[in-house]
Chain A
Amino acid sequence: MLKRRPTIRDHSAEANLFARRAFVGFVFVTILVAILLSNLYTIQVDDHQDYQTRSNDNRIKVIPIAPNRGLIYDRNGVLLAENKPVYNLEVIPEDVKNLDDSLAAISQLIAISDQQKNDFLDDIKHNRRFKSQVLKARLNESEVAKFSVNQHKFPGFSIEARLARYYPYADTLTHALGYVAKLNKKELAKLEMDDQATNYRATHDIGKLGIEKYYEQLLHGQVGSQRVEVNNRGRVIRTLSMTPPEPGHDLVLTLDIGLQQIAQHALKDMRGAIVVMDAKDGGVLALYSNPSYDPNLFVHGISSKNYKALLNPDRPLINRTTQGRYAPASTVKPHLAILALEEGLVTEQTKMWDPGFFQIPNVEHKWRDWKRWGHGHVDVYKAIEESCDTYFYDTAYRLGITKISNFMAQFGFGDLTGIDIHEETSAILPSKEWKEGRFRESWWRGDTISVGIGQGYWTATPMQIANATNILVNKGRNFPPHLVQVAKKEDEVTQINNEEKPPVELKNADHWRIALDAMHNTVHKVTGTAHKAFRGATYDPAGKTGTAQVVSIAQGERYDAESLKERQRDNAIYIGFAPYKDPQIVVSIVVENTGGGSTVGAPIARQLMDYYFSANPLTVARSVKQ
């Protein structure tokens, strides 16, 4: 090996060899560059669209903006439900130098409970550090002022305003308006089903009850959105474009807040319900159920202590106007009188002897009149004016349940009135079929007798009673009850609920007059049950009292309020309308366990009508002239 080694290096051969290798190297480099370029060409030219899209997906986020909820006004434009800014103390953790020190310092200024502090610390643990978190919600004015003065000492802390529902009339309107509260999972699932989930992406609250729930769709509005550019940590860099949200419709109700307040005031601490309707169109002027509660408690989440307090035996959560089931008692006597006239069982002149009780032939049992000694000779007028029970026991017995049931169904008993809130029950209009379905028992003749005075199995809601009265005073024309008059959005006004239902038709339209005249007498004749309450009224009222037994009194015993427990005393009921010639309003009042309709119900009706006609003097003038 060593021998073959040349002694002199062949420099030119070596240079040639190197030059060839360097050339090969350069060719190799060129090929690799070509490979890189072709790959880059694929990425930048062929797949450009795809990567462009993904690049935009990275940086562009769409942030939803909640629409402002529509406002609710009463018939005179008084604001009943508004959106008020609430001030929350919020913190951006990223901007706070020493969180523990700052929290300790802010606690000196504004009371912060351990619960609030722990919730806050929990929130920041689970969220991005630049995202604002609520430390204390709903600061009061003095807290806002205290913080504002010291704000410079708390970098990263700020007060943020958000719109939240506020009901200025608090418990006066709860059962009509309902309330909004935080959206829950069940509601979200339902929104998802209705393809509404996107529309609620930025919304905190949803209608839970009453008008707020029934008209949720109108009130809510349309979500807006903001396209923003974000960085890799999700921080917003700038806004690219914005679609403003569309606010919800404002609603104008048929309610009159003044009348509503009178209703609340009149019931004081008695359990009961008041419905006042506009006789001309079925618009509900007042809808009040007592006891009530403050809906504002629910808007920001009710505490369990406050909630438990609402679960008391007086059941304030129940809307008695549409969910309370009461025996309509004597308030249905005018209707039954019409049926008897229609069927030819009695005429305007027919007189009947009332010994103070009614007996089915060959039966021992006595159905007693409220007047133990009886009303003597009774015609249809007197039967209504003095609320003679015996007259109607007899009439009902002769009519039979099927005729009564079919006729009263036309006045809306046993069915939902269709008022625009969801909290409504159809109560019970008894019939043979109903009893068989409900008790698997056939209808006894005796069952019909108490139906004749609006008791027995018969129950109705104050709203149903008002509705049935309204049909009566309109001589069969049927304007179903409703709370919302119009929905407004900017200049666009939509009339809602202005439909009239098919009327109740009689063979002889004069029968309406007989019943209404009798109701007029009830108020005006000295012997009328509502005479005392309406003495001296400036308008011309008419009405009918009712007193419903809550427990049945055993044979041979007398009703004695004192000896009965409070909850077993009679319910007072009153229906009324005015002016007699050209009815403007209809009232329906039920007061639980207070005794007679004439002593408790009628005076409340008087207060309501006095207010209504003093607020509407033209109507009074007209009624006086007549």
Chain B
Amino acid sequence: MQLHDKRSIWDKLHLDLPLLLALVCMMVASLTIVYSASGQNEAMMLRHATRMAAAVIAMIVLAQFSPATLKRLVIPLYCLGLLMLVGVILFGVSSKGAQRWLDLGVTRFQPSELMKLAVPMMVAWYIGRNHLPPRALHLMVGFAIVILPTILIMEQPDLGTSILIASSGIFVIFLSGLSWRLISFFTGLVTLSAWPFWHYGMHAYQKQRVLTLFNPESDPLGSGYHIIQSKIAIGSGGIEGKGWLQGTQSQLEFLPERHTDFIFSVLSEEFGLFGVCLLLCMYLFIIGRGLYIAVNAQDAFGKLLAGALTLTFFVYVFVNIGMVSGLLPVVGVPLPLISYGGTSMVTLMAGFGIIMSIATDKRMLLK
């Protein structure tokens, strides 16, 4: 069998070549833009590249776990995640008004990052065990699995991450074939619950961000400043952009958080609408490839997990670009694969590792 192994080198490595190439392209793009957005700061570049390497390793490592192994790890991972979230609320470390970290002595750890993977895995495992589309009882349990960590993370408070985690779980349920009637019902319910949520569920700073979204010029020096400067950066980039390292909004630091949440504005300013289209095409390709892998996955767990991870990746894209271009309120979501910042990059790449594991698993069985 070893002699007649027709699998390509990439299959043996459990890597999906098209996806891998797309990810490498994104990383090159990320290095290019972060170099500009950090004001040519070499120390930051070094840190960013190091984290990228760590993220790639995380991806390769996770790709080696077969879906079957992952299934076995689902429950312990999810439970550990929940415990740590409770731990954060009880003993967590505060920073900038939010309590998101656990101090592990050696390093600080953000349990919500673990939950970004554990929640869709848990829901996919639970729903996938049974027939599709899921029955009412399974649906309810599935929702419970999603809502519990979402609420805990919202308490920290971290609206961006809780949205990402909630959507990752909900995507599993959507992909499992939840009837359109129920989808309409839940959509209606969410819309109706928005009012009490607005009044009791949101922090003042979160409300301010939403209000500012609708009229950023009302407070140009306060909470509207970020979004105004971001739109000026994007708009002044025009079609062709001002050129790499030539963006005045970003280089002269009028743009806040330029290397993290607002890095898209830097790209738009320096590379214009051309750069924006190229980036969106790359994202569409990655999402298309992810969904293709999901559709061709071997079992329900693989399909649901790969699909949900892919769609969640898009949520990052949509929320980040939506917020910097003034369509959505400012919630702390980085531009996936591009923004400077360690943990989210590692989590994302780990997610792609799981997708690759699902992609190559199928081929092994076909063999």
Which residues of chain A have a CB within 8 Å of any CB of chain B?
Answer: 1, 5-6, 9, 14-15, 17-19, 21-22, 25-26, 29-30, 32-33, 35-37, 39-41, 43-45, 47-48, 50-52, 54-56, 58-59, 229-233, 237
Residues A55 and B273 in contact, CB atoms below 8 Å apart: no
Residues of B within 8 A of A54 (CB): 232, 235-236
Residues B284 and A29 in contact, CB atoms below 8 Å apart: yes
CB distance from A352 to the nearest CB of B (A): 90
Residues A40 and B318 in contact, CB atoms below 8 Å apart: no
Residues B325 and A43 in contact, CB atoms below 8 Å apart: yes
CA distance A56 to B269 in the complex (A): 13
CB distance from B41 to the nearest CB of A (A): 15
Residues A44 and B280 in contact, CB atoms below 8 Å apart: no
Besides the known contacts A36-B321, A40-B325, 14 further A-B residue pairs in the complex with CB atoms under 8 A apart? A14-B131, A17-B132, A18-B132, A18-B304, A33-B318, A35-B327, A36-B318, A43-B326, A45-B238, A51-B231, A51-B235, A52-B238, A58-B232, A231-B253
Scoring A15, A40, A48, A56 by chain B CB atoms within 10 A of each residue's CB, the highest score goes to A40
Which of B234, B288, B295, B304 is A40 in contact with, Cβ under 8 Å? B234
CA distance A33 to B288 in the complex (A): 13
Whether a CB of chain A sits under 8 angstroms from the CB of B337 is: no
CA distance A15 to B295 in the complex (A): 7
CA distance A51 to B327 in the complex (A): 17
Known: A14-B300, A54-B236. A5 touches B231 (CB 8 A): no
B:281-314 near A, CB below 8 Å:
283-284, 287-288, 291, 294-295, 300, 303-304, 307, 311, 314
Residues of B within 8 A of A230 (CB): 252
Residues of B within 8 A of A37 (CB): 276-277, 280
Residues A22 and B132 in contact, CB atoms below 8 Å apart: no
Question: Chain B 45-56 against A: per-residue CB contact (8 Å), 1 yes, 0 no?
Answer: 000000000000
CA distance A54 to B229 in the complex (A): 9
Residues B249 and A55 in contact, CB atoms below 8 Å apart: yes
Residues B307 and A52 in contact, CB atoms below 8 Å apart: no
Which of B135, B231, B254, B326 is A59 in contact with, Cβ under 8 Å? B254
Which of A22, A44, A50, A231 is B276 in contact with, Cβ under 8 Å? A44
Which of A5, A9, A22 is B307 in contact with, Cβ under 8 Å? A22
Known: A25-B174, A26-B287. A40 touches B252 (CB 8 A): no
CA distance A39 to B175 in the complex (A): 28
Residues of A within 8 A of B314 (CB): 29, 32
List 4 tightest A-B contacts by C-beta distance, closest first. A51-B235, A55-B236, A231-B252, A14-B132
CA distance A249 to B190 in the complex (A): 77
B:202-253 near A, CB below 8 Å:
229, 231-239, 248-249, 252-253
CA distance A47 to B268 in the complex (A): 14
Residues B249 and A58 in contact, CB atoms below 8 Å apart: yes
Residues B236 and A52 in contact, CB atoms below 8 Å apart: yes
Q: What are 23 of the A-B contact pairs (CB < 8 Å)?
A: A18-B294, A18-B307, A19-B295, A21-B176, A21-B307, A22-B175, A29-B287, A29-B311, A33-B318, A37-B277, A37-B280, A39-B327, A40-B268, A40-B321, A40-B325, A41-B273, A44-B234, A44-B239, A44-B272, A45-B273, A51-B234, A59-B254, A231-B254
Residues of A within 8 A of B291 (CB): 22, 25-26
CB distance from A41 to the nearest CB of B (A): 7
Residues A25 and B311 in contact, CB atoms below 8 Å apart: yes
CB distance from A409 to the nearest CB of B (A): 66
Which residues of chain B have a CB within 8 Å of any CB of chain A?
Answer: 131-133, 135, 171, 174-177, 229, 231-239, 248-249, 252-254, 268, 272-273, 276-277, 280, 283-284, 287-288, 291, 294-295, 300, 303-304, 307, 311, 314, 318, 321-322, 325-327
Residues of B within 8 A of A59 (CB): 248-249, 252, 254
Closest B residue to A18 using CB positions: B303
Closest A residue to B237 using CB positions: A44
CB distance from A416 to the nearest CB of B (A): 55
Residues B248 and A229 in contact, CB atoms below 8 Å apart: yes
CA distance A237 to B174 in the complex (A): 53
Residues B177 and A18 in contact, CB atoms below 8 Å apart: yes
Residues B175 and A36 in contact, CB atoms below 8 Å apart: no
CB distance from A545 to the nearest CB of B (A): 76
Residues B235 and A43 in contact, CB atoms below 8 Å apart: yes
CB distance from A32 to the nearest CB of B (A): 5
CA distance A527 to B287 in the complex (A): 123
Scoring A21, A25, A26, A33 by chain B CB atoms within 10 A of each residue's CB, the highest score goes to A21
CA distance A47 to B228 in the complex (A): 13
Residues of A within 8 A of B300 (CB): 14, 18
Residues of B within 8 A of A229 (CB): 248, 252
Residues of B within 8 A of A52 (CB): 235-236, 238
Closest B residue to A9 using CB positions: B131
CA distance A35 to B327 in the complex (A): 10
CB distance from B193 to the nearest CB of A (A): 22
Closest A residue to B314 using CB positions: A29
Residues of B within 8 A of A56 (CB): 248
CB distance from A477 to the nearest CB of B (A): 69
Residues A232 and B235 in contact, CB atoms below 8 Å apart: no
CA distance A1 to B136 in the complex (A): 11
Residues of B within 8 A of A41 (CB): 273
CA distance A236 to B176 in the complex (A): 59
Residues of B within 8 A of A33 (CB): 280, 283-284, 318
Residues of B within 8 A of A55 (CB): 232-233, 235-236, 248-249
Closest B residue to A13 using CB positions: B132
Which of A17, A30, A39 is B133 in contact with, Cβ under 8 Å? A17
CB distance from A342 to the nearest CB of B (A): 80
Residues of A within 8 A of B176 (CB): 18, 21
Residues B236 and A51 in contact, CB atoms below 8 Å apart: yes
Residues B174 and A21 in contact, CB atoms below 8 Å apart: yes
Residues of A within 8 A of B252 (CB): 58-59, 229-232, 237
Residues of B within 8 A of A50 (CB): 235
CB distance from A153 to the nearest CB of B (A): 30
Residues B248 and A44 in contact, CB atoms below 8 Å apart: no
Residues of B within 8 A of A25 (CB): 171, 174-175, 291, 307, 311
CB distance from A339 to the nearest CB of B (A): 77
Scoring B235, B276, B321, B327 by chain A CB atoms within 10 A of each residue's CB, the highest score goes to B235
Which of B229, B231, B307, B311 is A43 in contact with, Cβ under 8 Å? B231
Residues B295 and A22 in contact, CB atoms below 8 Å apart: yes
CA distance A229 to B318 in the complex (A): 34
CA distance A18 to B131 in the complex (A): 12
Residues of B within 8 A of A47 (CB): 235
Closest A residue to B228 using CB positions: A54
Residues of B within 8 A of A231 (CB): 252-254
Residues A40 and B276 in contact, CB atoms below 8 Å apart: yes
Residues of B within 8 A of A36 (CB): 280, 318, 321-322, 325, 327
Residues of A within 8 A of B249 (CB): 55, 58-59
CB distance from B366 to the nearest CB of A (A): 14
Residues of B within 8 A of A40 (CB): 234, 268, 273, 276, 321, 325
Closest A residue to B280 using CB positions: A33
Residues B325 and A21 in contact, CB atoms below 8 Å apart: no
CB distance from A390 to the nearest CB of B (A): 86
CA distance A56 to B277 in the complex (A): 25
CB distance from A200 to the nearest CB of B (A): 29
Residues of A within 8 A of B174 (CB): 21, 25
CB distance from A24 to the nearest CB of B (A): 8
Known: A5-B131, A26-B287. A21 touches B235 (CB 8 A): no
CB distance from A43 to the nearest CB of B (A): 5
Closest B residue to A59 using CB positions: B248
Residues of B within 8 A of A43 (CB): 231, 234-235, 325-326
Residues of B within 8 A of A233 (CB): 253
